[in-house]
Each structure stands twice: as C-alpha cells, then as structure tokens.
Chains A and B, each alone.
Chain A
Amino acid sequence: MRRRWNWATQSQRSEAVRQAMRQLGLTGRRARTRPRDPDELRLLIQRSVAHIQRARAEGRWQKLGTRRWRIEFRE
C-alpha cells in the first residue's frame, strides 16, 4: 500500500526529534560507519578545493589582508 505523508504532521515530528536531540546534546559531528573508497575520497577533496577556489575567484570569499576577509553573500 502506498504510504502517504502529510507535510504539516511530518514537520512537527521532525521538530520533535530535533528538539529531543538538542536536549540530549546530540548536535555535534556524527562519525561515518563506512570508510570511504580512496578514489571517492580523492574526488571529494578535489571537488571541495575547486569549490573554495571558485568562491575566491568570483570574489564572494575575498581576502582583504593576512587575517581579514570579506564574505559577499549578495550578488
């Protein structure tokens, strides 16, 4: 039988779970259970490095000085 979802009910349920997690202090990092394949890891690293380089090249993440940056969120 097809399962039906009601967005309003589901949102309330999600909020209840999130509230319980906050109260239990479960807001930090979660450990992965499966180690990554070396090629997957290499690709993810290259992807993230490219993402940072693109943000900087486009001037959205702009280095103003040794320890000073400006982040431009608006286009």
Chain B
Amino acid sequence: MPFEERLRQARSLLEKKLLVVSELTRRLQPKGITPIVVGGSAVEIYSAGDYLSADIDLVVASRQQAIAELQQMGFRVEGRVFYHPEWDITLEIPDETLAGDAERITEIQIDGGTVYCIGLEDLILDRLNAFVHQRSEEDGRWARVLLQAYATEIDTNYLKARAEQESTRAALEAMLQEIADATPMELGNSEPAE
C-alpha cells in the first residue's frame, strides 16, 4: 500500500507519527543514519499511547541530511520545528547525539517498517532528571509509571549507576521502594532471552 494511503488509514495520532518516523528511517538508513525517537513520543510508545505528545522528538546523527529528507517528504521549517501541513505532524530534532546507551535502543516493528526508540532505562532516567532537577511532577509520574509497568524487565543496576552520576539516585530508590511495597512483584534485572 502506498505510504500516503496507509497514513490516511491511521486511526490515532501515535500510529500516524510512527508511520512518518518509519518512512524517514527507511529513507535515511541507506545513508547510515538512524533516527531515534526520544522525549514525549518515547513515553507515548512505552506507555502504549496513554501519554499524549503533540510532536515527535528525534535524535538524528546528521541534522542536515535529515532536514533534506524531511523537506522532500513535504515538511516545512517553522522556527526550530518541522511541520507537515497535509499530515498535520510536527517534528523536532532537539539533538544529534543520544543522551543514553546506543546498545539499549529499542527496535519497534510497525506495519512493515521499523522505528528506533531510546532505551526504556534511559527514558526513565530522562524523566527522573526532569522530576528532580526541574521539579516536574508530571515527569516524576511517568518515571514511576514506567518503572512499575516494566518492573521485572528493566535493568535496575544500570538505572541506579546512572542515577548516582546524575544525582537522582535518592528519588529512584524512593520510587522503587514504593513499587516494592505496593506490589508483591520482585524487581529484577533479568530479561527474557531473545
């Protein structure tokens, strides 16, 4: 099915956004560039669409090449954001470097395409940073949601080590304790085999 037609059939904004990112990925990967979803859109992915984000935040190693592709796709530059008037999609490239571990990036298959997303642990740390250092309660809430929803799958050793470096360890420990007290579920480091 042609891309435009598939996009028209999308029933949610998240579906539409991920289709657009998978199309951008398809165009950039032959040039050795992989866009990575970060920020609110990544929370939207890991929360199964429960968190709503207006735009798409991407980390792309080569901003210039990404801009060229976005313009070919019909995006226009408005200030520091890219906007597609027909698709009503807003996209930002806040950085060229991923604030996290490249080995932890999650590959997401969607309708024949692929989208890459910041690792779950790095996303939780990002929210935790905003919670502690910018006193953003909402970010604290989403860090807590993701910690609980994926309690048995996340690498808590990695989380704790990085939280220590970023002065968010106390907040992380408090959240983990809250979750352990609330549920009988054991917080583990093991993940199911590939």
- Chain A residues within CB distance 8 Å of chain B: 19, 22-25, 27, 29, 31-32, 35-36, 41, 44-45, 47-49, 51-56, 60-61, 63-71, 73-74
Contacts and interface: CB of A to CB of B under 8 A. Distances in A.
Interface string B78-90: 1111010000001
A32 B138 contact: yes
B109 A45 contact: no
Given A47-B50, A71-B45, 10 more contacts: A22-B90, A27-B54, A36-B137, A45-B148, A48-B142, A52-B145, A54-B48, A66-B194, A67-B107, A73-B15
Contacts of B10: 73
Contacts of B81: 22, 25, 27
Secondary structure of the B side of the interface? mixed
B48 A22 contact: no
Given A23-B78, A24-B79, A69 B50 contact: no
B191 interface: yes
